[in-house]
Amino acid sequence: MIREKSIIQGNEQLAPGFWKMRLVAPEIAATVKPGQFINVKIAQCKAPLFRRPFTVFRCLDLDKDRPGIEVVYEVVGRGTRMMSAMGKGDELDIIGPLGRGFKRRDDKRVHILVGSGVGLPALFMLGEELSLAAGRGELELVIMLDAKTKERLILEEEFGSLNGKTLVSIHDGAYGYHGYVTEMLRAYIAEEDIAADCAIYACGPELMFKALVPICSQYNIPAQICMERNMGCGIGACLSCVCRVDKKAVMKHRDVRSSHVQFEDAGSSGYALVCCDGPVFNIDEVIFDE
Amino acid sequence: MDNSPNLCVQLAPGHSAGLSLSNPVMIASGIFGYGEEYAQLVEIQKLGAVVCKGTTLAPRRGNPQPRLVETASGLLNSVGLENIGVEALIREEAPKWASWQVPVIVNVAGETIEEYVEVVTRLEGVQGISGIELNISCPNVSAGGAEFGMNPEIAARVTAAVKGASSLPLMVKLSPNVTDIRAIALAVQEAGADAISLINTLKGMAFAVDKGKPRLGNITGGLSGPAIKPVALRMVYEVAEVVRVPVVGCGGIASASDALEFIMCGASAVQVGTANFTDPGIGLTIVKGIEEFMREKKVERLTDLAGLAH
């Protein structure tokens, strides 16, 4: 974890409401792993008060071989609106890399990325890694991109450049598969008969995760999901960004002693911190109905 | 002659061991967890003191989410005293503190007087702990919590009980959600408090119009951050006027100038909370700012600034 004064190299609109910011961040770029995030202080004054967390979209070499990172964000409130007004040369105070990212399931042959809306960027670094392995013939990569409308579909070209099969679902049927990505996924798994040998990595709204649950349990497919929460500190101190987790599943997947998951003496569930036990969780760990 | 100003403060002059700080800037409870989370980003050993997360007898998993809402220059939270429990604190956290230079103060919470007493009894003789902060003001738990801080008699009873069970310096953290905070302050002082810290969060609420429901899982929460500073300052001023034990000011402090306001209004030291989330280095920035102010104004000892307003 490093705190960097980062200079903005570029800030461009990708689609209505979606922006991509490029930052000089050599130290973070050197260590960030797929699924990890940075916490950005946007305002110099006290409004908005908190930092805003963004998953790192990708790392890249900027001019003069300076390592940088990119984040892709949606303008949803005051903080992101202020961000979208910033430009080249402006300075940002960022902390990162933070959180526990994706863990590649090397025991599986088919790796499926399932992303929707502003959840897509969180999957790209993992996609790049898997793409390299797919290029060497070690695995198969399938990428499912989802958006409400065609106008809101982002990063199709970037994901399309990876060594994998790219499928698109648009809810109103204007383009690609007509419907939700989870329906497309269910049909794909059945058609290709890959249930026994695949792993899913997903990022999107919580409703999408909830729709993934029955698919994963029906076919017994392991899935990792990248969760989103409002955060206070982003580093495990304020205990605000919790998600409810199942004790049995947590005990199965992780070393509870080195996690921040808090259980009570009696009880089958507890709270994990999205900022440092996550943002990536195994889907069976998370209890969605709270 | 060394002309660097003296920032030392003694927070428990009436206690045999005392509670001596190298500077007046402490990190408030619930901000730095158990101290370690921020150690990678901040030279925490240079702080005046660190107050750890509110600790209860048994582990608590805390309140349902969402637990946090950002408000106008403020933070509304309802964590609900999620903590690892006193045994895990003694086993896993205190041994690290034993080698630290910065004093660690354990914030103790409970649902009954017996629970408070049991927690401090278990902390007796544990290395690495410099003092107790008695939390009689958490607004986010249904039993105990703030109830102890709302009535002078009950506040005095829990303070006396803990004082009788603990040999550590005892600071009592007061709730602002009361009619007359001076009566509570006087009551805990008479019951044996070595110092008084204030304020804890103000009880508040936020509502999501689009969803038609409260924004916090716990419905209500505690408000902190710059938004509450004027309220905190007024209460510190009022309390410092009537008590003789040291007062520790807390509530919305985000700069050296904020801290100096509290000190001039009667605080011997300050706690910085919410501001750390935005700027983890803010505690040390404030220490430096106070030092610069003293140099500029030719103030030799911090205590010379104390209570200028009175």
Measured in angstroms, the CA of A273 and the nearest CA of chain B are apart by 11
B273 lies within 8 A of chain A by CB: no
Where is the domain boundary, A226, A260, A276? A226
Which one of A227, A230, A239, A273 makes the best mutation probe of the B interface by having the most chain B beta carbons within 10 Å?
A: A239
User: Which residues touch B92 (CB under 8 Å, ≥6 apart)?
Assistant: B84
- The pLDDT tens digits for B49-78 are 999 999 999 999 999 999 999 999 999 999
Mean pLDDT to the nearest integer, B118-124: 98
B82 lies within 8 A of chain A by CB: yes
CATH code: domain of residue A73:
2.40.30.10
Omega cis (within 30) before A97: yes
- The reply to whether A72 and A125 lie within a common domain is no
In a domain, A103, yes or no: no
In a domain, A104, yes or no: no
- The reply to whether A222 and A234 lie within a common domain is no
Residues of B in Cβ contact (< 8 Å) with A47: 72-73
A3 lies within 8 A of chain B by CB: yes
**Closest residue on chain A to B79 (Cα):** A240
- The reply to whether A120 and A221 lie within a common domain is yes
- The pLDDT tens digits for B156-173 are 999 999 999 999 999 999
CATH code: domain of residue A116:
3.40.50.80
- The reply to whether A10 and A81 lie within a common domain is yes
Omega cis (within 30) before A214: no
Which one of B67, B213, B255 makes the best mutation probe of the A interface by having the most chain A beta carbons within 10 Å?
A: B67
Q: Select from A49, A93, A244 the Cβ nearest to the Cβ of B70.
A: A49
Whole-number pLDDT of residue B145: 63
Which tokens in the block code for residue B151? Answer: 């009535």
In a domain, A214, yes or no: yes
- The pLDDT tens digits for A193-204 are 999 999 999 999
Q: Select from A46, A233, A290 the Cβ nearest to the Cβ of B65.
A: A290
- The reply to whether A129 and A194 lie within a common domain is yes
Residues of A in Cβ contact (< 8 Å) with B77: 232, 238, 240
Measured in angstroms, the CA of B257 and the nearest CA of chain A are apart by 15
- The reply to whether A184 and A262 lie within a common domain is no
Contact B65 A232 (CB under 8 A): no
Contact A1 B30 (CB under 8 A): no
pLDDT tens-place values along chain A, 290 residues long = 999 999 999 999 999 999 999 999 999 999 999 999 999 999 877 778 899 999 999 999 887 778 999 999 999 999 999 999 999 999 999 999 999 999 999 999 999 999 999 999 999 999 999 999 999 999 999 999 999 999 999 999 999 999 999 999 999 999 999 999 999 999 999 999 999 999 999 999 999 999 999 999 999 999 999 999 999 999 999 999 999 999 999 999 998 888 889 988 778 999 999 999 999 999 999 999 77
- The reply to whether A193 and A233 lie within a common domain is no
Q: Are B94 and B293 in contact (CB under 8 A)?
A: no
- The reply to whether A78 and A166 lie within a common domain is no
A270 lies within 8 A of chain B by CB: yes
Residues of B in Cβ contact (< 8 Å) with A267: 61
In a domain, A162, yes or no: yes
Count Cβ neighbours within 10 Å for each residue of B149-167 and write b for 16 or more, e otherwise: bbebebbbebbbbbbebbe
Measured in angstroms, the CA of A171 and the nearest CA of chain B are apart by 22
- The reply to whether A196 and A258 lie within a common domain is no
Whole-number pLDDT of residue A195: 95
Q: Where are the domains of chain B?
A: 9-304
In a domain, A24, yes or no: yes
- The reply to whether A284 and A255 lie within a common domain is yes
- The reply to whether A116 and A56 lie within a common domain is no
Q: State how far the Cα of B3 lies from the Cα of A288, in Å rounded to an integer.
A: 60
Give the count of beta carbons closer than 10 Å to the beta carbon of residue B116: 27
Scan residues 24-53 of A and list those with Cβ closer than 8 Å to B.
41, 46-51
Q: Are B68 and A230 in contact (CB under 8 A)?
A: yes
- The reply to whether A131 and A155 lie within a common domain is yes
Owning domain of residue A275: 228-290
A238 lies within 8 A of chain B by CB: yes
In a domain, A105, yes or no: no
Residues in chain B: 310
B8 assigned to active site: no
Residues of A in Cβ contact (< 8 Å) with B280: 3, 95
Measured in angstroms, the CA of B234 and the nearest CA of chain A are apart by 21
Scan residues 94-153 of B and list those with Cβ closer than 8 Å to A.
none
- Using a pLDDT cut of 90, give the percent of chain B over it: 88
User: Which residues touch A265 (CB under 8 Å, ≥6 apart)?
Assistant: B58, B59
As its CATH architecture, domain B9-304 has: Alpha-Beta Barrel (3.20)
The helix (H) or strand (E) run that includes residue B285 is helix B282-296
The total number of structural domains in chain A stands at: 3
In a domain, A136, yes or no: yes
The helix (H) or strand (E) run that includes residue B123 is helix B113-123
Contact A244 B79 (CB under 8 A): no
Residues of B in Cβ contact (< 8 Å) with A271: 61-62, 65, 82
Nearest to A22 by CA among A75, A87, A85: A87
